[in-house]
Structure 1
Amino acid sequence: PGLANLGETSKKKESGFLMLNLQQTIGDHFVKLTTRQWQAQSPEEANRIQVVREQEDVINHTVCQVISLLWTEAAADQRLHESLPSLNSPEIWKKSPSPRQPDQQVWQSSFQPSFVSHILSNRGVDISDFYQSHFQDYDAYQQDKYHEEKNPLGFLNLGVSENKLCVDLITERLCQNDMNCIEEDLLQYSDWRGHPLLREEVARFLTYYCRAPTRLDPENVVVLNGCCSIFSALLMVLGNPGEAFLVPTPFYGGFTFVSHLYAKVELFPVHLESEVRMENSEPFQLTVDKLEKTLLEARQKEKKVRGLVLTNPQNPLGIVYSQDSLMEYLEFAKRHHLHVIIDEIYMLSVFDESIKFHSVLSIERLPDPDRTHVIWGTSKDFGISGFRFGALYTHNKEVASAVSIFGYLHGISGITQYKLRRLLQDREWIDAVYLPANHSRLRTAHKYVTKKLRALEIPFVNHGCGLYVWVNLQSYLKPCTFAEERALHRRFLDNKLMLSRGKSYMCKEPGWFRIIFAENYVPLKLAMHRFKHALEEHNYDWM
């Protein structure tokens, strides 16, 4: 029976692909029907073309339903999500010209397809489709991870921002006796805002490392299972569905997923350019003038803008905002009555000693403290993303109270909260052991990767913080389009190397990629070898 089921599943998938080909063939036929040139087009001929287009939509709709049904049943049979393109994705309805056939015609259906499911609601289908289209590569990596001995041909991950350089130090610290505590209180439900002892320690920790002018209030702290949970909760309580938040691009792609999942708010891009056009400026520089222009553009499109989202240090650029720049952005937000959400998750990962990080919490007189909200977590700075910890600090107790209810769904286990409290409390170990070693190892890894990039004559944005380098691979795109960026990204995946491409960060310019360098030497060396090989392979195919 098992073999019979596999055979049926295979037939359903094969039928799905055949239907995709049929749908494309029909589309090509309709293109020929509707793009013929007439010297004098009569009203009757125009009406005939309109009828043809309506027939096209009807057939597209029918074929789409058949494809969806076949593939849904096949996926359900195998409990797998194969690499069929998302049926809600524009790529499946758009036939892009091949790089070798620049004059090939492009067909774009006006029909907006809908995935058919007998189980999920429309909202469930939307969420499932969004997940599959954004996390398919990550799922493949999870099932085929590189291991030096057990799986040397597995995926190497320089796409997900994780710090793996100090696992030895963190493991040793977490295994010490003071970390092991089982008390009745830790086994029960805690305050939805987080355990009071952890919130007190987070307030002390942020007061010290953010150089706050006065002691921060534990009552203004909320802890949830990750910074994205905090971000999602803030969007939920600060914005209504359909409203917008300004976000300078390129920005962390996870924000897009989070804003889509629950809050249904729009992240309205403030596009930054790599080209330096003014004196004393730098690539991808954010200015108040760009913020003002984008806000005006959003309002002209009848968007209600509720806030501004910033990441400092910036991801993926690695830029650290000066205190003067921060004040300018905050003053802009105050003028327009906007909330400011500032993610400072990389604040302790500034490894270039010449760069000084300024937390928003270090500013003595915030322009609008009630609308300024800071996020921090241990995933990046301490390399423990598996702990799932994120903290909010806001001076606005109404916001803190509203966000705290999300602890009912996104709380952290009592045992984990205890360990986090002990870790953050050990200031002596952090300052004398962990941070110096982490910064040193980040510098070494960053130097290794940037040296390789220079040898390949690949431009990159060079900043001494974070876990990543923002690299320019536009010279490998022929032509320089997002379709070619996607093809190059696929080339890396074919070489079992995960990178993040610029489109994922809403970068306006195709050809930019983010490379994570916070990896141990052996896998990092192999990853850069695969990186070079993929580029050579890609170039060879164009010769």
Structure 2
Amino acid sequence: MSDPDNVQPIPCGQMGSPVLIERQIYSQLLNMILNLQQLLGDHFKQLASVRLRCTSLEEQKNLKAIHEQEEIISSSMCQMASLLLSKAVSGLRPQESLVSLGSRGDIADGQRAPSTRQLDQLVPQERDFEATFLTRVLSNRGVDISLLYDSSFRDYEAYQKDKYHEENNTLGFLNLSLSENKLCLDLITDRLCQSDMNNVEEVLLQYPNWRGQPFLREEVARFLTYYCKAPAPLDPENVVVLNGCCSVFSALAMVLCDPGEALLIPAPFYGGFTFISRLYAKVELIPVYLESEITYKRTQPFQLTVDKLEQALYEARCKGKDVKGLVLINPHNPLGDVYSQNSLMRYLRFAKRYDLHVIVDEIYMLSVFDKTIKFCSVLSIEGLPDPKRTHMIWGTSKDFGISGFRFGALYTYNKEVASAMSSFGYLHSISGITQYKLCRLLQDREWIDRVYLPANHSRLQEAHDYITKKLKSLDIDFLDRGSGLYVWINLKKFIYPCTFEEELTLHRNFLDAKLMLSRGKSYMCKEPGWFRITFAENPARLKQAMDRFCQVLEKQKYDCLAKQLEEAQME
């Protein structure tokens, strides 16, 4: 996921009647503006047909002046519509000013395409008049979802349209913001192409069991028993398979919480959770803010303590929030921390004291590449404080680099939760052919242990060594962890003043250089200046990306110095 700059958790179900009245007024004004925009659009189309028949120099000169006026009107109308649209949706802050692409699409007319920064400012992007008219038929919820998507994925969409390619597009985007493991694509491709993966049976071509095909759930239970070191064989009836871990998290939030209720989650945290918790479940995520500073109570940066959890829960309840659970990510995204068994037990006992569910996301559990670090799955703990409220999520997207398979699994000790989760398979199941291939992959324990995991860990370690050596040469602080596909880095020295606004400016400077990183604000980090950078990339592309990274920071360093000198002169 790209950088959701303006996505903030919204308290659900708290809109009073004055807010609804105000929103209706904005909606009426928005419809008036869009009707006027449609009339102007029709007028512009008529002008376009006239333009084709103009031959004299004088006529073309007059039409050029009309064309310029048309651009100004189009831009103004777009800005007014966007402002009204942002005001009409409760809980979303007004977006930045729009830069119009023009009513007919200037790129098609041979003019210069908008820069990355302009694309970043289009919320929503006015591709043409017809796209803008769609807002007139959307419900309030539809408008909310549309704005949420635009603000979350606008950078990602720009990347999809302009990807870097060694031969065909050397000036395209290089993406170090997306957490995908591309280091073992050769191994995984070779394994998926072997003959035992090819099977077409009647049952695989028909509607599946909504909870997941029995053969896959049985294999997932065996797989997790082995790799999570469970004290006893896990029950396939407690496994639910859906199309991705985000689908599992979204469904689980709906099963455990009513709209407007909340989950605690240590921050910074994976920004996708903000998007999916609002998309369907309308569940609020309450950040438990962690600090980078080391004190006598916090022996490492961004350390999660029970005191922090207690404080966050107390403050939430004082505000009338109904907190239903705690979300933990282990290994952590974006920090890379791996929780010890003792730490996990402290967090689980805290949740037990307050009757909270615990959702543990372990999607990076096989991506701990530092041999000195021991990963402890929540499923390995014998004598869980509250097993009926403990739920674990895992998938193959990160550990096996096959995010396109869209596979996520839930393991819960609670039969009621598993039963309720099954209903989501009606909408979010995986194709039978894919389930068969996944089953065969997970069954091949010998290949996983002897071929894939050793190679994956070795390549991750090598890529990690490369990028951390580069960061050290630039005197950039970072969290040196041995897990995951990314590094959490501190770029505070390259932004002045150290604010989230300047963090966003640096983020856009990277985009202008066709380099995508994830900034700390998108992970709800309390402190400006932190970024996440993915290193599990093809070595040649990673080197190219780091070259662009260094070029941007070199310019940024001089810009900061110039600001400081200008400020000193003013004093």
TM > 0.5 fold call: yes
- Residue 278 of structure 1 aligns to a residue whose secondary structure is coil
Do residues 527 (structure 1) and 545 (structure 2) align? yes
Q: 2:75 aligns with which of 10, 17, 41?
A: 17
CA separation of 1:175 and 1:84: change in aligned 2, threshold 3 A:
closer
Is 1:240 equivalent to 2:286 in the alignment? no
Does 2:440 match 1:396? no
Q: Deviations over 1:424-447 (max 9, x none)?
A: 000000000000000000000000
Superposition deviation, residue 134 in structure 1: 1.1
SS of residue paired to 2:394: strand
Q: Is the 8 A contact 1:9 1:74 kept in 2?
A: no
Alignment of 1:250 with 2:268, yes or no, is: yes
Taking the aligned partners of 1:471 and 1:523, their CA distance within structure 2 comes to: 20
Residues 355-387 of structure 1, C-alpha deviations (whole Å, 9 max, x = no match): 000000000111000000000000000000000
Partner SS for 1:310: strand
Matches within 5 A, 1:396-435: 396-435=414-453
**Deviant stretches of 4+, over 4 Å:** 7-14, 19-24, 70-75, 86-89
Tell me the distance in 2 between the aligned counterparts of 1:116 and 1:198. 42
Out of 98, 119, 122, the residue aligned to residue 83 of structure 1 is 119
Give the Cα separation in 1 of the matches to 2:78 and 2:194.
Answer: 58
**C-alpha contact (below 8 Å) 1:87/1:115 kept by paired residues:** no
2 CA distance for matches of 1:147 and 1:311? 33
Please tell me whether the aligned partners of residues 162 and 380 of structure 1 are also in contact (alpha carbons under 8 angstroms): yes
Residues 1:355 and 2:377 aligned together = no
The CA deviation string for residues 287-339 of structure 1, in whole angstroms up to 9 with x for no partner, is: 00000000000001100000000000000000000000000000000000000
Among candidates 431, 441, 463, match of residue 459 of structure 2: 441
1:105 maps to none
Alpha-carbon distance in structure 2 between the residues aligned to 1:192 and 1:23: 43
Partner of 2:395: 377
Name the SS of the counterpart of 2:136 in structure 1. coil
Structure 1 unpaired stretches of 5+? 27-56, 59-63, 90-113
- Output the CA distance in 2 between the equivalents of 1:74 and 1:533: 36
Q: For the Cα contact (< 8 Å) 2:261–2:322, is it kept in 1? A: yes
TM-score, scaled relative to structure 1: 0.83
Distance 2:69 2:257 in 1: 47
TM-superposed deviation, 1:84: 6.9
Q: Please, which of 108, 111, 124 is the counterpart of residue 142 of structure 2?
A: 124
How far does residue 85 in structure 1 lie from its aligned partner after superposition? 3.7
1:340 alignment partner, SS class: strand
Normalising by structure 2, we get a TM-score of 0.79
Which residue is equivalent to 2:61?
none
Deviations 1:185-215 (A, max 9, x none): 0000010000000000000000000000000
Match of residue 455, structure 1, among 469, 473, 481: 473
Distance of aligned partners of 1:84 and 1:363 in 2 relative to their CA distance in 1, 3 Å threshold: closer
- Choose which of 293, 299, 309 in structure 1 pairs with 2:327: 309
Q: How does 1:335-354 map to 2 (within 5 A)?
A: 335-354=353-372
Count of aligned positions: 478
Kept after mapping to 2: 8 A contact 1:163/1:467? yes
Q: Distance in 2 between matches of 1:216 and 1:73?
A: 59
> In the TM superposition, what whole-angstrom CA distance separates every residue of 1:244-298 from its partner, at most 9, and x where no partner exists?
1000000000000000100001000000000001167100000000000000000
Q: What do residues 392-442 of structure 1 show as CA deviations (whole Å, max 9, x unaligned)? A: 000001000111110011100000000000000000000000000000000
Shift of 1:83: 2.8
User: What is the 5 A alignment of 1:19-38?
Assistant: none
CA contact (8 A) 2:180 2:536 kept: yes
1:490 match: secondary structure: helix
Q: CA RMSD in A?
A: 3.0
3-state SS of 1:148 partner: coil
SS at match of 2:454: helix
CA contact (8 A) 1:482 1:510 kept: yes
Distance 1:22 1:120 in 2: 18
Q: 1:493 aligns with which of 482, 487, 511?
A: 511
Unaligned runs of 5+ in 2: 1-44, 52-65, 89-93, 126-131, 563-571
- Decide whether the 8 Å contact of 1:12 with 1:74 is kept in 2: no
**TM-aligned CA deviation for residue 17 of structure 1:** 3.2
Task: Tell me which residue corresponds to 1:469.
Answer: 487
The more displaced of 171-180 and 144-153 is 144-153
Secondary structure (helix, strand or coil) at the match of 2:153 reads helix
State yes or no: 1:181 paired with 2:185.
no
Q: Structure 1 pair 449/465, CA: closer, same or farther in 2 (3 Å)? A: same
